[in-house]
Structure 1
C-alpha cells in the first residue's frame, strides 16, 4: 500500500462492539520510520470498527504495531510505503516567523479566512454543496467552523449519542455525525482550504449540556476528536470561540485544555484560542505568549493595532473576527463592505490578516446568515478581498521585515481623502511607486524611478494605498 507524504493512512480493525467500546477499549498504534516512532491514538467508529489514522511526514517505508488492552486488537502489525506528495499537496500549514505562515514544503500560506460556524450541522446536502461552490469561487483560504451545537439549534445529528437536550450520553459518540463532518473536511481539502475547527464555545447556555462539561468530559471529547481529525493535514485547532463568555471555565482551565491538545496531537497542528468582545467597548485578548499557542486568533474592531500585538507577542496575528458585513441589528453584524475591507488593508500593511464574515439573512433558510450556515456569498467585500489576495501573493511573505530592509512596503490611507502624500524613500535606493485604488481594484504605476522624496497625488479619494518596491 502507498500513501503520499502528508496524506492519510487508515487502519481499520474489527474488535469489540458490545458494552461501551468508547470507554472500555484503549487502542493506539506506533508508526516507525527508521529510528523515529510516532504514537497515535485510535478511536471506535461504531459497529465493531476500531480505527487508527496516521499522516506520514517522511517518504519511505513505515512500519506499525498496535497496542491495546483488548487481545484481538493488540500486537497487529503491518507496513506501508510513503511516496512523494501529489499535485496540490503542500503539507500542513505552520507558523513562519513573527508574521507569516507556510506549508511544510515551504509554500507560502495567506490565512484569509471566513466564518461558517455550523454549515455542516444541518444535513442539508443542497445547502452544503452551495456553500462549497461559493468557497470554490472565493478568495478564502480558511474556514472557521464549530464542532458543538448552540442552544438555538436542533440538528439532526450531534457529536455525542442522543438527541434530548440536557440528556446527551457523554460517554458515547455519534460516528455518523463525525463521518459527515469528515466528509466536508475532505471537500475543503480538495479546494485547498484550511479548516479551523472550533472545539468549544459559550453559546449552549446549558441547553445541550456541552458548554459546562466536567474536565474529564472535556478531555474525553478532545481525545476522540483529535484521534479522528488530527491526521487531516489542513485542520487547525481553535480551542474556543469567545472563551471569556464561558462562565464555567477559568483561564487556567483553558490553559490546561490547550496543553492537553498540544500533548495529544501527534502532528502539532496550529493551535489558538479566540476572545470575546463588547464591540467598540472592550476586549479580553488572551495571553498568546503561552507556549501551547502557535498564533494569535483575535477578536477586535481595529486592525491598526496589529503591529502592537506582534510587538507584545512575536506570533502571527489573525483577526478572525473584526465585525461582519451585513444588515443585522447587532453591532458586530452590520458593518459595510467598505468598512470591512479597510480592516483587511490595515492589517495587511502591518503584516497581519483579517477574517471575513457576512450577516445577510437568507430567506430560503429561515433568515440564517453565511456566518451561521454558509450558502451564497453576497457581500461587496469579497471580490475586493480577492484583489488584495492577488497583491499580497505578489509581495514578500514578511511585509514589515521587507520594509525595515527598505525593499517593499504598503502605505494605506483608508477613509482619509488626501490630495497628495509625501513619501520618504530610504537613501541610496531607486523605487517604483504604484497607486492602488483598493475599492475600484486598480493599480496605476507612477512614471519614472523615484529616489529620496516622492509626492504621490491621491486626488482626494478614499480607500487608496501606495505600493513601493525597490528596483536597485
Structure 2
C-alpha cells in the first residue's frame, strides 16, 4: 500500500477481548526508514480490534514490526511505501524563528483560532455539520476543543466507559466516543484547520470524576489519547484549559504531565497549557521557559502585552482567550465585534496570534460552548486582517528593518502619524480595519514623513 507523506498508515490486528485489554495488553510498534526508527504505541479499539497509527515524514519504503505481551499481536511485520504529499498537505505545523509558525514543508502558517469547547459532544450530527460549514466559510484555521465533559453536560458518550456521574471506569475507554471525536478531527483536517485538543479542564467539579483523577489515571488517559490522535498532522495539544482553576492538581503535576506528553508523543506535536485567573486583575501565566512547551497559550484581556511575552520567551505567543464577542452577563463574554477586531489587530501587529469566540444569548447554542453558526461582526474583519497579513512577509515583525511595517492605532485617533523612513522610496496605505478598506496615499515617501489619520480603527502599511 502507499501512504502520502504526513498522512496516516493504520494497521488493524485481532487480539484478546477478554479481561481488560486497555490495562492488560501492551502493544507497540517500531517503524523504520533507512537507519531511523520511530516507536509508537498501539491502542485497543474494542471488540478484539487493536490499531497502530503512524504518520511518516519521509518518502520511500518504511518497515514495521510489532511488540506485544499478547502472542496474537507480537512480531507482526510488514512494509509500505510513502509517496509525496497530496494537494493541501503541507505537513504538521511547527514553531520556528522564535515567534512564528510554519508547516513542515516550509509553507508559512499564521494561527487564527476560535473556541468551540464541546462541539463534538452534542450528539447532534446535523449541528456538527453546521459547525463545520461555518468553519469552512470563516477565516479560522484552528479550533480549541475539549476531550472531557463539564459537570453541566449530559453527553451521549464520554471518553471513559460508563454513563453515570461519579461511576465512570477510569481503566476503560469508550471506543465509540473516540471514533466520533477523531472523525471530527479528520473533518477539520480536510478543511485545513488545526485541532487544538484540550485534554484536561477544571469544570467537572467532581461530578463525572474526570478532573480529580490520580496521577496514574491521568497518564493512562494521556497515553491512550496520544496513541489514537497523535498521527493526525493537524493535532495540537493543550494539556489543560485554565489549569490554575483545577485545585486537584499542583504545578508539579502539570509539569510532569507535559514532560510525559513530550516523552511519549513520537511526533512532538505542538503542546502548551492555558491559564485561568481573574485575567482583568492579574494572571498566573505558565512559565513557558520550560522546554516541554512549544508555544505560549495565554488568557489575558490586554493584547498590547504581546510583544512583552514574545520577548520574555522565544516561543510563539497565542492569545487563545482575551474575551469573546457576545452579549451574555459575564464581562469576558459581552465584547463588541469592534473590540474583538481591535484586539486581533493589536496582537497580530505586535507579533502574536489571537483567538476568537462568540457567546450570544439569542442563539440555539453558544459558539464557544458547542459551535453552530457564527453570527458576530468580527469574523469577516478577522478575514480582512488575515488577507492583510498574507500580503506581507512571513516575518512581518523582523521585516520592519527591511522596509515593511504595519502599525496599528486601534481606538486612538491621532491627527497624523510621524514616521522616519530610510532613503528608499516607500508606498504608504491607510487601512480602515473596521470598514475593511485600503487607501493608498499618492506619491512616494522617504525620510521623515507625516501621514494624515484623524479617526479610529486605522492601521498604516508602509513598504518599499
Q: TM-score, normalised on structure 1?
A: 0.97
Deviates more, 1:394-403 or 1:74-83: 394-403
- Mapped to 1, the partners of 2:98 and 2:455 lie a distance apart of 33
CA distance in 2, matches of 1:60, 1:239: 34
Residue of structure 1 in register with 2:369 after alignment: 372
CA contact (8 A) 1:270 1:294 kept: yes
CA contact (8 A) 1:350 1:399 kept: no
Q: Structure 2 length normalisation: TM-score?
A: 0.99
1:399 corresponds in structure 2 to: 396
The equivalent residue for 1:431 is: 426
Aligned to 1:450: 445
3-state DSSP class of the match of 2:111? coil
Aligned match of 1:414 in 397, 410, 417? 410
Aligned equivalents of 2:44, 2:283: Cα separation in 1: 40
- The alpha-carbon distance between structure 1 residues 456 and 188, as it changes in their structure 2 partners (threshold 3 A), is same
Given that residues 429 and 441 in structure 2 are in contact (C-alpha distance below 8 angstroms), is that contact kept between their aligned partners in structure 1? yes
Deviation at 1:126, TM superposition (A): 0.8
Please, which of 446, 451, 469 is the counterpart of residue 463 of structure 2? Answer: 469
- How far does residue 362 in structure 1 lie from its aligned partner after superposition? 5.0
* Counterpart-to-counterpart distance in 1, 2:51 and 2:366: 36
For 2:166, what is the secondary structure of its paired residue?
A: coil
What's the counterpart of residue 210 of structure 2?
210
Is 1:294 equivalent to 2:294 in the alignment? yes
Check whether the contact 2:161–2:174 (CA below 8 A) recurs between aligned residues.
yes
> In structure 2, how many angstroms separate the alpha carbons of the residues matched to 1:361 and 1:266?
43
Distance 1:134 1:226 in 2: 28
In 2, the alpha carbon distance for the partners of 1:328 and 1:98 equals 37
* Aligned position for 1:382: 379
* Stretches of structure 2 lacking an aligned partner (at least 5 in a row): none
Return 5+ residue gaps in structure 1 as ranges: none
The 5-angstrom pairing of residues 185-334 of structure 1 reads: 185-334=185-334
Between the aligned partners of 1:353 and 1:445, the Cα distance in structure 2 is 26
Residues 20-48 of structure 1: CA distance to partner in whole angstroms, max 9, x if unpaired? 00000000110001100100000000000
How far residue 302 of structure 1 moved from its aligned partner, in angstroms, is 0.6
**Any idea what the Cα deviations from partners look like across 1:331-364, whole Å, max 9, x if unmatched?**
1100111111111111111111110000113543
| Residues in 1 aligned to 2:263 and 2:14: alpha-carbon distance in whole angstroms | 28
* 2:3 matches 1:22: no
Q: 2:40 touches 2:54 (CA, 8 Å); kept in 1?
A: yes
Instruction: Please give the root-mean-square deviation of Cα atoms over the aligned residues, in Å.
Output: 0.8
Where 2:172 maps in the other structure, the secondary structure is strand
Distance (Å, rounded) in 2 between the aligned partners of 1:361 and 1:297? 27
Match of 2:124 in 1: 124
Contact 1:277–1:300 (Cα < 8 Å) also in 2: no
* Cα pair 2:279 2:299 within 8 Å, conserved: no
Deviation of 1:72 after TM superposition, in Å, equals: 0.9
User: What corresponds to 1:94 in structure 2?
Assistant: 94
Contact 2:337/2:376 (CA < 8 Å) preserved in 1?
A: yes
Secondary structure at 2:217 match in 1: helix
Pairing 1:61–2:57 present: no
SS of residue in 2 equivalent to 1:297: strand
- Cα drift, residue 419 of structure 1: 1.8
1:272 and 1:415 mapped to 2: Cα distance?
32
Relative distance call for 1:162 and 1:289 in structure 2 (3 A) is same
Cα pair 2:351 2:397 within 8 Å, conserved: yes
SS at match of 1:402: helix
